[in-house]
Structure 1
Amino acid sequence: MADGEGQPDNPDLLDSRWRPLWQMLHAMDQDIAQLYDQAGITGLRNRFVGPLIQLGRHGPMTIQELATAVEVTHSAMSQTAAAMRAAGFADSAEGSDGRTRRIRLSARGRELLPLLQAEWRATEATVRDLEAEIPYPLTQVVKDINAALARRSFRQRLDDNLARALKEDP
């Protein structure tokens, strides 16, 4: 049996639109992680790089300032900051009023900063090179998807499709 678009109605057999995108991004992310491993840098996660670069540019920052700078939630940055401290890339720093907790680069983080900045620039150049090879740039895909989601959110679309899926016969 198949749905209206000729797809099998067994969810385990559906051709996924989401999975290839996730796999591509994950593979690219793994290539970056491999670069750090080959450089002998232990404990460095890709999600640390943006915050560490921001700390290198701006000096000690609060968790909220850092979260805003790298466009993640306070909760996500709090977890990342704790992991960066545990791995030795960042330290806690006192705020100017003694009540505000800040995070700063550790000596190890400062030592790695030139490589992290160079990798960031190299990654951006690599994406630009990749975009030059394909007929529809990744950045344009993202802009177009974001424009569509501004008209109607992913959650709204998901809710509508879930309602339809629940109405269909199993």
Structure 2
Amino acid sequence: MADSHAVDPTEQSLWRPLRLLQASMDADIARSYSERQIDGLKPSFVMELLRLHARGPLTIAELAESVHRTHSALSQKVAAMRTAGWVETVVGDDARTRKVTLTDKARRVVGRLAAEWRATEGALADLEAEIPYPLSQVVADIERALEHKSFHERIAEKLTEDPAWS
């Protein structure tokens, strides 16, 4: 039974607002699709759909590498996109390989998806111009700091200070 006086560490989160902001912005992107009757499309599918359009059919491993995701994560995403009717798998160069390709449904909207991608990037550039310290600069600065000491190392140091971890 939970202690009614226990401190809930999840009440504090420095980056939760960032995740919530991104979710809100993704919802606005999804709203754009809905307004154009592009139903059942998740914003998280668009990069892979555009990549397949630009490069042609790819194996899951090739697609995963091209979007910097793990094979496992991409395999799950491809399954979801297949269920939603955006992609299908076809026999590859030899009978042992399968390639992911766009369906006719995806090919009909891919031009609009590219337009949305460009519009979103333009809107992000406008937002970054309005704020004193652009998020893209924050990311670059964090990456540089992590080159000196990894996030894992930073967490490990904090854990050695917490008696509950012992």
The corresponding residue for 1:65 is: 62
Unaligned runs of 5+ in 2: 1-5
C-alpha deviations, 1:104-132, integer Å up to 9, x for none? 00000100101110111011101100010
The one-letter code sitting in structure 2 at the alignment partner of 1:98 is: A
Provide Cα deviations, 1:69-91, integer angstroms capped at 9, x if missing partner. Answer: 11111111111111111111111
Correspondence for 1:124: 121
Identity %, equivalent residues? 46
- TM-score, with normalisation over the residues of structure 1? 0.87
Note the aligned Cα RMSD (angstroms): 1.9
CA distance in 1, matches of 2:113, 2:146: 33
Q: 1:153 aligns with which of 136, 141, 150?
A: 150
Partner of 1:99: 96
How far is the alpha carbon of 1:165 from its aligned partner? 2.5
Does residue 140 (structure 1) correspond to residue 143 (structure 2)? The answer is no
Give me the whole-angstrom Cα distance separating, in 2, the residues matched to 1:145 and 1:100: 39
Task: Give me the TM-score of the superposition, normalised by structure 2.
Answer: 0.89
Instruction: Find out whether 1:27 has 2:28 as its counterpart.
Output: no
Residues 1:166 and 1:56: Cα distance change in structure 2 (over 3 Å): same
Residue 142 of structure 1 aligns to which amino acid in structure 2? Answer: V
Unaligned runs of 5+ in 1: 1-8
Please name the residue that 1:6 is paired with. none
Deviations 1:124-162 (A, max 9, x none): 101100010011111110000111112111121112212
Q: Please name the residue that 2:109 is paired with.
A: 112
Deviation at 1:37, TM superposition (A): 2.2
